[in-house]
Structure 1
Amino acid sequence: MNVTGVVLAGGKSRRMGEDKRFLTVGEETLLARTTSVMAQLFSEVLVIIAQDSPPLTVSGCIVHRDLIADCGSLGGLYTGLARATEPRVFVVACDMPFLNPDMIQWFVDRDPAADIVMARLPAGLQPLHALYSKRALPVLERMAITHALKIQQIASEPSLHTTVVLPAEWGERDPRAQSFQNVNTPADLDAARAALRNRSLPQ
C-alpha cells in the first residue's frame, strides 16, 4: 500500500498516573491491541517513544526514539514520517483500544493524491487516526521549531493537499466513533473496559 503504520507510544501518561501502554482492555494491553491491528494492515509498523522513555521491545515492530525532544505527539509524528521507508504513514496513538482495520483501510484508500487525510469529529479534527505523506515533514519541522504543537493546525497548511473526512462519511462505518476513542484517564479506562464487555454480550 506504500504506507507505513506508526504507533505513537511516547506519552507521559500524566492524567492516568501510570504507564497506560501496559494497562489492559480485555486480555491485551493497550499497546498490544494497537500494534496488533496495525500489523494486520502494514508490513512495516514503527513504534515511536520519547527520548527519555525506558527501552521498549514490541514484537513485529521497529521502535524508534523521538528525533525532536519535548514536542509531544507532533514530534512523534515527525519521527515516524522521517523513519518510515514508505512515502506515507498512517498514524495512531497507542491508547486507542477500538481501532478498526476496515476503517483504517478506508482512510488509506480515501484520497491517494492527498498529503493528509484526517477526520473531523464533533469536537474537532482528529490528527492521530490519520494519513500523512512525507511532504508534511518540512511543515512539521517548522511547527516544532516554533513550538506550534497542535497537529491539527497542519490541516490548513496551503502547501499541502488535505482531505478532511466528515462525520457523514466515516459515521456510516463507525456511528459511535469508537475508532477515535482514547484512554487518557482512569475514567476513560473504565469506560473502554465497559464498552468491551458490552460488545461481548449476546444481542
Structure 2
Amino acid sequence: MPDNAASEKPRTKHAHLIRPALGEFGRHELAILGAPCGRIKELAARLVPLLSDTLRVAYVDADHAAGDDAAQGGSGGQDVMLQAGAAAELTDKITFTRLDVKRPLDRFSQPELLQYQNLVLVNGNHFRAAQQLVILDLAKPVEKKLDRLTNVRALLLPEGVTEIPAYLQTHLGEVSVPVLPLHDTAAIAQLILEEWRAAAPPLRGLVLAGGRSQRMGQDKGKLQYHGQEQRAYAAELLAPFCQDVHVSCRPDQVVELEYAGLRPLPDSFTDLGPLSGILSALRLDPNAAWLVVACDLPFLSADTLAHLVQHRQPARLATAFQSPENEWPEPLITIWEPASYPQLLRFLSLGYSCPRKTLINSDVAVLPAPAPQELRNVNTPAEAEQVRQELE
C-alpha cells in the first residue's frame, strides 16, 4: 500500500454542492389548512391584494371537478389538443399565459415552475409546505394532519371559535404561535410580510478580479489609484455592507490573493467573463445575495454602495444601477439575489454569457445612480493614466 494512501480523501460519488433552501414549492411558502378548500381559497384571495404590491405571490391548489370527471371516464378538463395526444399546450390568453402539460408535479418540478415567485400560498388540504397557517375550523379539524404541522406560523380563529384544541396545544408544545382572527386579513398579511422581510437573504460581497485584462496589458486588479491595489481597495469598500467579502479570481491567482490578506474565490465556472465570478459565488452560497463590483472602478465610493444597499429590493431578481451611457442596468455594480442563480444558468444554457442580458430580460430594480461618474471603469493604460491625473 502506498505511504500516502491513508491521507488520500475518500472518493465521493457526487460533487459537493450547496443546495438552495427551497421548500416544496419555493423559498417562502405557506400551506393553509384546517378548513374546507373553499374557505382556504377565499382567505388566499383576500390576502393576495394586500401582498402583491410587495411580493410576487403564487397560489397552489387542486381541481376537484377535473379529478372527479377523470375518475368517471371524462377528459379531466384537458383541452382538445391534450386529448389528441399533445404533451403540452401553450396558450396566449392575451391578459395572461397558460401552459398545460402532461407532466406530474414532483419535488423537482414544483420549485422549478414557481422559482421566480416570492411567496407561494398552498392549499394544505392537498399539498405540503415548509410553513403553515392553521385555521381552527370545526368542520375540518387538523387532528389527523399533525404530521403536516412542522412550522406553524399562526393560528387563525373563525368567528365563534375562542379556544385552541388540547391536541393542538400538545403538538405545539412550548412554541409560541400568534393567534389571529380569521377575518382580520390585514393582520394576517402584515404577519406574512414581516416574516418575509425578516427572512431576506444575507448580503455577501464579491470583487470581480479574475479577468485577463487584455486591453490594459497588465492585471487591472493590481493597479493602484488610492495607495493600494484596486482589488483590495474594492474589498474594503464592500466590507461595511457585507457579512464577508470574496475576491473572484482564476485558480492561478489564489496564492497571491491569500498572501495579500484577501479571501480568494477561484472560478468554478470558467471562460465566461464576469459571469464566471458571479456564478461561482452563487454556487458557493445559493442562499445569499451577492453584492458584486468590478475591480476596475477607481471612482466608486462608499456613499454610492450605501445607496444601492439602502434601496435593495429583495423581492426582485437583482438591484442594479442604470448605466450612465444608456437606459440599461449596469451588471457589475449589482446586488444579485438568490433567484438570479437559476436565471443566469438558464441564459447560459441558451448560449448567453452576458449578465446584462439577464438583467434586461428579468424582473429587476434599476436605480438612477446618485453619482453616475463613479460607474466609470478603466480598461486601457491611457484611461488609467487619465484617472491618476484626475485623482491627484
* TM tier, smaller: 0.7 to 0.9
Tell me the CA shift for residue 123 of structure 1: 2.0
Confirm or deny: 8 A CA contact 2:278 2:292 kept in the other structure. yes
Unaligned stretches of 5+ residues in structure 1: 198-203
Q: Secondary structure at the match of 1:134?
A: coil
Listed as ranges, the matches of 1:12-161 within 5 Å are: 12-53=212-253, 55-58=255-258, 61-84=262-285, 87-110=288-311, 111-124=313-326, 125-158=329-362, 161=363
Higher relative contact order (CA 8 A, sep 6+): 1
Tell me the CA shift for residue 144 of structure 1: 2.7
- TM-score of the superposed pair, with normalisation by structure 2: 0.45
The aligned amino acid for 1:72 is G
Unaligned stretches of 5+ residues in structure 2: 1-200
Q: Secondary structure at the match of 1:91?
A: strand
User: Measured at CA, do residues 53 and 27 of structure 1 come closer, stay the same or move farther in structure 2, by a change above 3 Å?
Assistant: closer
Q: Secondary structure at the match of 1:104?
A: helix
User: Measured at CA, do residues 55 and 178 of structure 1 come closer, stay the same or move farther in structure 2, by a change above 3 Å?
Assistant: farther
| Matching residue of 1:8 | 208
The aligned amino acid for 1:25 is Y
User: Measured at CA, do residues 178 and 28 of structure 1 come closer, stay the same or move farther in structure 2, by a change above 3 Å?
Assistant: farther
Q: Secondary structure at the match of 2:366?
A: strand
**Distance in 2 (alpha carbons) for counterparts of 1:71 and 1:15:** 17
**Distance in 1 (alpha carbons) for counterparts of 2:253 and 2:342:** 25
Per-residue deviation, residues 95-115 of structure 1 (Å, max 9, x unmatched): 111221121122122124222
Tell me the CA shift for residue 34 of structure 1: 0.9
Tell me the CA shift for residue 162 of structure 1: 0.5
- TM-score of the superposed pair, with normalisation by structure 1: 0.83
| Matching residue of 2:34 | none
Root-mean-square deviation (CA), in Å? 2.1
Confirm or deny: 8 A CA contact 1:3 1:86 kept in the other structure. no
The aligned amino acid for 2:340 is A
| Matching residue of 1:164 | 366
User: Measured at CA, do residues 165 and 117 of structure 1 come closer, stay the same or move farther in structure 2, by a change above 3 Å?
Assistant: same
Confirm or deny: 8 A CA contact 1:21 1:31 kept in the other structure. yes
**Distance in 2 (alpha carbons) for counterparts of 1:29 and 1:122:** 25
User: Measured at CA, do residues 156 and 20 of structure 1 come closer, stay the same or move farther in structure 2, by a change above 3 Å?
Assistant: closer
Which one has the largest radius of gyration? 2
| Matching residue of 1:201 | none
**Distance in 2 (alpha carbons) for counterparts of 1:62 and 1:29:** 14
